[in-house]
Amino acid sequence: VDPNNFKTCEQSSFCRRSRKVQSSGSKYALIPGTLNSYTDSLTGDLVNKENHHLFSFKLEALAGSTFRLRIDEKQPLRPRYKVEHALKGQPEAGRIRLHTETDGEIVITSERTKAVLHGDPFYIDFYEHDVLVVSVNSKNWLYFEHLRPKPNEPTEQREGEQEDQDGAVETPKLTDSIDDPGAWEENFKSHHDSKPYGPEAVALDFSFPAAEILFGIPEHADSFVLKSTSRTDPYRLYNLDVFEYIVDSKMALYGSVPVIYGHGAQRTAGVYWQNAAETWVDIQTAETNVVSSLVNFVSGSRKTPPPGAHFISESGIVDAFIMLGPKPIDTFKQYAALTGTHELPQLFSLAYHQSRWNYNDERDVTAVSAKFDEYNIPMDTMWLDIEYTDGKRYFTWDKFKFPQPLAMIKNLTELGRHLVVIIDPHIKRDNGYFFHQDCTEKGYYVKTREGNDYEGWCWPGSASYPDFFNPDVRQYYASQFDLSRFQTVTADVMLWNDMNEPSVFNGPEITAPKDLVHYGNWEHRDVHNLYGHMHLMGTFAGLQQRDPNQRPFILTRAHFAGSQRYAAIWTGDNLADWPHLQHSIKMCLTEAVAGFSFCGADVGGFFGNPDAELLERWYQTGAFLPFFRAHAHIDTKRREPWLYPERTRLVIQNAIRKRYSYLPLWYTAFYELEKTGAPVIRPLLTHYPLDKDAFGIDDQLLVQDRLLVKPVMQQGVSKVDVYFPAIDDKKNGDLWYDADTYERQERVGYVSVPVTEYKIPVWQRGGSILAKKERPRRSAPLMLHDPYTLIICLDRNGRAAGTLFLDDEKSYDYRQGQYVYVSYDFSENQLTTRFIGKRLYESDAWIERIVIAGLERVPSSVGITVNGVKQNLESTRQGGAVVIRKPNVKMDVDFLLILHYA
Amino acid sequence: DVPRPRGVSLIKAPLYQPRAGDDSWTCLDGSKTIPFVQVNDDYCDCPDGSDEPGTSACAQGQFHCLNKGHESVDIPSSRVQDGVCDCCDGSDESQVVGCANTCAELGAAAAIQRRNQAELHKQGAEKRQEMITRGRQLRADRETRRLELERRIKDQEALKSEKQQIKINAEALESDALEVFKEQQRELDADTVQAEEEPQQMRQEASLSFGVYDINKDGFVEVTELMVDINLDRDRNGVVTVEEAKYFLDERERVDLDAFVTLAWPRIKPLKMLAEGLFQPPHADEQVPKVPVEATTEGVQQSQPQPTEEQIDMEASTDGEADEEGDEDQYDDEEGDVGVGEASPEIEAPAPPVYDPETQRLVEQANEARNALEEVERNIREIEQEVKEIDEQSAKDYGQQEEWAVLDGECYNFEDREYVYTLCPFDRASQKPKNGGAETTLGRWEQWIGEGYKYSKQKYGNGAACWNGPQRSAIINISCALEPRITSVGEPNRCEYYFEFETPAACDSEAQRAESVHDEL
């Protein structure tokens, strides 16, 4: 991509204005006597001591060690936008106790947490168990541009003409002037932003005194650990359609999730900055980790200031959630408690997806599906990109290429497969197109400042964009999915929402102009990062209304905080090269801790043609990311596995089959995500928070706390260096078992591991139990009744534990107790079961095999007791494990397995 | 019915017998012995998967569908007990699934299909036999013709040395006479200046054109750069072929400015003028009395397989010395009518010098000698060209029995919503938008590429380059039918086209065998 097509902070008026505060500081103070306290909150007024403008703030305690701080103008000229629909609901309130109110210092406590407010200058310190973890405005970078009348016309014109003019001359109040030339109108390239409401930025700094690193604020193609922005532009959050994006970059991408975490060995905390306008985030952190850690080592204390983040947004209010941990997983769950999680997906969506822009016609779709069977490669979902439509009119089909969509869909569903079709938000301006007619007549499109329907250019040519912020528009759109209307699909056809940043080919920065007007008279500027989210809400509602008992599957490109409740994401239009493969993990790890566990990258790379080795390694990597889809640009060569040499096809078959074998783990992990908010894939620091060397590792990932995955993501290597993390600061670690051989790994730190082209370096943690299904099938739904294999990997004490969830893999019946959720425990040579919840689901599945790794010896006999009946089982050593043959017990039945040693 | 475990074929039934005495059984790969009761007990014991022929327990196992009434097949174990009826007798699924037994219907349908196929192949084979006969005749004709041409070349070579000698003699006399004449004229000759200007102007206009043709501005005009100028389509088939383009570049891949001026422009210019209406090609009947060379070529033309190309060839070569006068007359006449355009050359013919009668006679004699030699040389070139074409044709693989030869020279069309596709076997595949617009070459004949049976697939490559992409290419899948036609065209890969083409030429037994093997897969 050409970075010049996108703004720098310096080219963005509000960013350069707000950033200036970093050198001057600001002067906000609490006004004595304005404080009011309630059971869960504290309110008061603030004053800007330079221009005497008044603000009101509210500090609330929420359940789960979280505070919410809101600051708005006390009497704004017009209302300022407050984000809606991002939170999953009204957050559960906490309770506070007000302790002291002396010398302008107010202390409130809520359970284990404490907030200390300082009056002048105004700042708040947040403590978790008496450790200071987050300071808000400790740098005095709070910057709140109050709404103001537009200066008279001549002044404005002169300002426009002459950039370096002294603003003091035109504006009456010296201290209240904003003399930036972009304050009241702004140009970028050939685009003009009329900015009718003038400057209205909000900015605030957050410090993390107990942290050593910061991470979060996706979506950026960058390392997991955020880098200092002292010599660069800030990280940018502005949903944009970026073509062939650059890696190792702070540029904005398709999604914006303004949540950041600070992590240190003792404490983890986070801040969710709830603002949907364009946002820049400056990061203050040690420039070079080596030097600072040396300094710390020598001095025994921190010499550098604590890591900090400065959030700068173009409009809206200050609405910040301060999540106080204390552990990484606690903090992730606190964020999930606010914005929600993906619900349990249908199993098929966790299996392998086959996409391409485009599968040309029905014959193509059917032939590709058949080839997967010919080569015995499991495949669950075929995808259709924009070309299936009649001239990019969504909810229609190209009648020549797809004359019989229902027959084509049936061909797929007969084998348990699914179809996903794309529906984008740009609507073709064609008077013969019903959707366009309806939106025009009903006034459903996003409007220009003058009140006309906005017209942009996208795939269909001239297009307009439904205003999904209007509930009527969402309902109209949702109703289109009804099978009585969209008759050419079935309730098994799922959805892909692309281009919903929104992408506008001829718009500023390839998106919509900021002065467009949305429902409620809000400017696009206020809500930009939520546009895709609102699109998703419509799609999700549509699919649920279409078939209330089937869980929708949606893939989206644009996303905001909370979009994870509706859709999976992928990392957009990547490239077929090794750096983009490596970034697929870095990006998905960041997304996962920001709520988006259901994340993946286009396997093979969207643009360009991967060679055999890159494609093989990409499949192996994709097989261990939650969303596993191959996809390619229309100008690339076809790359279905059989079009490569036989070895590549077999490597790919192997990787996909491995994915299918672990589907019970993925499915259980997603169930547990919905229940607890714990991410499905996790960075090492989640479970090894004390190991400083593990903080920055972003080429490995954990699947829950059960698997450690280090895919081969380098060209031409015969070994990879794998980092085995320490559980403490004394280089003690877990035991790890190679997932293929059960060979035991006991070391901590980097270990060089040989790899062949088939090898996906994966270890199961000693102490964990997981379930697999080892019979390959054409698609995941055909595995429903297949038996399970339990894999038990023992820790140093000969113990292990783990869960398994199963249900019908498709409906919402699990919410009525139609599931089996079992916890397995192994200790003292005994395996026991404990069922959680109702156990109402009846499954034909059974346990065909139990593999135990880490036993010193093969037991002389193995006995199983089911319903009081005892039976002996055969056991044999296979590699580093003992395999117990055919326990043959149903999944919802209690049993006791005992290993005997003579 | 032989008793045997589920999923085992009749042939393999003897392999599934418990060992007498201990009721044990050994995996087919010999790796392990297990109790016979563990065969088909839904647990995979054998590394080769042979103990579970009737369940899905072994990943690499096979299940035998007996499919009584239809064909027996082996399916992968992964399709057993998965709720999908794969065997037509339903034997891969349990009763619960309730698979209908469709073998009888399928078997009957397959029998009809086989009969129809056999009938089709039988009738097709007759047609194919005719094609073989004609193809062999064509080859024989070519061989005869080639021998004939070789003989004629020999004759012409002899004639050539004779004419050369006459020319040398005549030119010696002419040279002497002209030397004398020039001596006399030298001081009066003010026209010389103008005569020198002519090449100068020629060069200028050639440079201009060079600039236009050199699209990528690399200082060379390449074959591909010429291929975009439809004016150079000498055979008027709608595309400028590589061969056509090369002709203009003196059979080179590319030329620099100097070579362009001296070699290429003289060939290109007449066609440009033709295109612009500045130039009328000489009508054979008019030219006969004036220019004897034309009359001779006219004679040759009649025996040429591609008269139009020859005609153009002649037109293009009219800038040769011998025809200079005639050309420029034509050209001057026209120029006045159409006005001087950008590209119109501004060369004026120098007034022919007036010789004394004796010199005039010697010059004419020398001209005649030159013309005569020219004519012989031209004949030789033409014969050689024809030999080359015959050799090219002979080099093409028309099948083991020449059955494909008759397709060379034919063209078939296929229309879809947007395009008309054309396949001219052994020549090219192309595409033309229905709403107007230029034809695009999808590929030129390369070779047979059928896997298994070579003559089931053709490859056409090196087509016009895609924007931001590769050169187009086309694969032709060929099957047997009574009438030749294209049944479908697709572009599964960007710029890679697939044609389904039917012809009786494909109705041979070997192809049928290959096809039926493929069907089974």
CA distance B85 to chain A (A): 10
Among B55, B78, B80, B99, the residue to mutate for chain A (most A Cβ within 10 A): B78
pLDDT the model gives residue B187: 60
d(C-alpha A606, C-alpha A632), whole Å? 4
Cβ distance of B469 and A635 shorter than 8 Å: yes
**pLDDT > 70 fraction of chain B, expressed in percent and rounded:** 80
Q: Which of A656-670, B25-39, B218-232, B400-414 has the lowest mean pLDDT?
A: B218-232
Model confidence at A322, in pLDDT bands (50, 70, 90)? very high
Does B60 touch chain A if contact means CB atoms closer than 8 Å? no
Of A374, A414, A848, Cβ closest to residue B84: A414
CA distance B77 to chain A (A): 9
The residue among A564, A676, A705, A694 whose CA lies nearest residue A263 is A694
Cβ distance of A776 and B59 shorter than 8 Å: yes
Give the model confidence (pLDDT) of A390-404 as tens digits: 999 999 999 999 999
Residues of B with Cβ-Cβ distance to A414 under 8 angstroms = 84
Give the model confidence (pLDDT) of B93-142 as tens digits: 998 889 999 999 999 999 999 999 889 988 999 999 999 999 999 999 99
Model confidence at A169, in pLDDT bands (50, 70, 90)? very low
Q: Quick check: helix, strand or coil at residue A565?
A: helix
Q: Is the pLDDT of residue B230 over 50?
A: yes
Cβ distance of A775 and B59 shorter than 8 Å: yes
Does B467 touch chain A if contact means CB atoms closer than 8 Å? no
Residues of B with Cβ-Cβ distance to A786 under 8 angstroms = 56
Chain A residues 392-431 with a CB less than 8 Å from chain B: 400, 414-416
Phi, psi of A179 (to 5 degrees): -100, 15
Structure tokens at A548: 């209330």
Give the model confidence (pLDDT) of B398-407 as tens digits: 998 999 999 9
Give the model confidence (pLDDT) of A723-780 as tens digits: 999 999 889 999 999 999 999 999 999 999 999 999 999 999 999 999 999 999 999 9
Beta bridge partner(s), residue A319: A70
Cβ distance of A360 and B78 shorter than 8 Å: no
Average pLDDT over residues A541-552: 97
Give the helix ranges, DSSP H, for A547-662.
Answer: 578-593, 612-622, 646-661
Model confidence at B278, in pLDDT bands (50, 70, 90)? low
Go through B274-300 and write b for each residue having 16 or more CB atoms within 10 A of its CB, e for each that does not: beeebbebbeeeebeeebebbebbbeb
The residue among A246, A244, A71 whose CA lies nearest residue A236 is A246
Give the model confidence (pLDDT) of A262-315 as tens digits: 999 999 999 999 999 999 999 999 765 444 455 555 555 555 789 999 999 999
Model confidence at B334, in pLDDT bands (50, 70, 90)? very low
* Catalytic (active-site) positions of A: 498, 573
Chain A residue closest in CA terms to B491: A360
Model confidence at B198, in pLDDT bands (50, 70, 90)? low
Model confidence at B348, in pLDDT bands (50, 70, 90)? low
What kind and span of H or E run contains A825?
strand A820-827
Chain B residue closest in CA terms to A361: B492
d(C-alpha A74, C-alpha A150), whole Å? 20
d(C-alpha B277, C-alpha B343), whole Å? 12
Residues of A with Cβ-Cβ distance to B491 under 8 angstroms = 360
CA distance B200 to chain A (A): 48
Q: Which residues contact A74 (CB under 8 A, 6 or more apart)?
A: A45, A54, A55, A56
Q: What pTM did the predictor assign? A: 0.83
CA distance B59 to chain A (A): 6
Does B43 touch chain A if contact means CB atoms closer than 8 Å? yes
d(C-alpha A87, C-alpha A84), whole Å? 7
Among A414, A638, A777, the residue to mutate for chain B (most B Cβ within 10 A): A777
Roughly what angle, to the nearest 10 degrees, separates helices B292-302 and B357-395?
A: 20
**pLDDT > 90 fraction of chain B, expressed in percent and rounded:** 50
Model confidence at A26, in pLDDT bands (50, 70, 90)? confident
Give the model confidence (pLDDT) of A412-425 as tens digits: 999 999 999 999 99
Chain A residue closest in CA terms to B416: A400
CA distance A639 to chain B (A): 10
d(C-alpha B344, C-alpha B341), whole Å? 5
Residues of B with Cβ-Cβ distance to A788 under 8 angstroms = none
What kind and span of H or E run contains B47?
none
Structure tokens at A274: 């709830």
pLDDT the model gives residue B190: 56
The residue among A751, A624, A740, A735 whose CA lies nearest residue A682 is A624
DSSP assignments along B362-422, one per residue: HHHHHHHHHHHHHHHHHHHHHHHHHHHHHHHHHHS---TTSTTGGGTT--EEEE-SSEEEE
Of A361, A777, A885, Cβ closest to residue B82: A777
Does A786 touch chain B if contact means CB atoms closer than 8 Å? yes
DSSP assignments along A285-321, one per residue: --S-HHHHHHHHHHHSS--SPPPEEEEEESSS-EEEE
pLDDT the model gives residue B350: 58
Does B79 touch chain A if contact means CB atoms closer than 8 Å? yes
Q: Which residues contact B291 (CB under 8 A, 6 or more apart)?
A: B282, B322, B323, B326
Does A391 touch chain B if contact means CB atoms closer than 8 Å? no
Of B78, B83, B469, Cβ closest to residue A776: B78
Average pLDDT over residues B183-211: 71
Does B521 touch chain A if contact means CB atoms closer than 8 Å? yes
Give the helix ranges, DSSP H, for A595-699.
Answer: 612-622, 646-661, 663-676
d(C-alpha B348, C-alpha A592), whole Å? 81
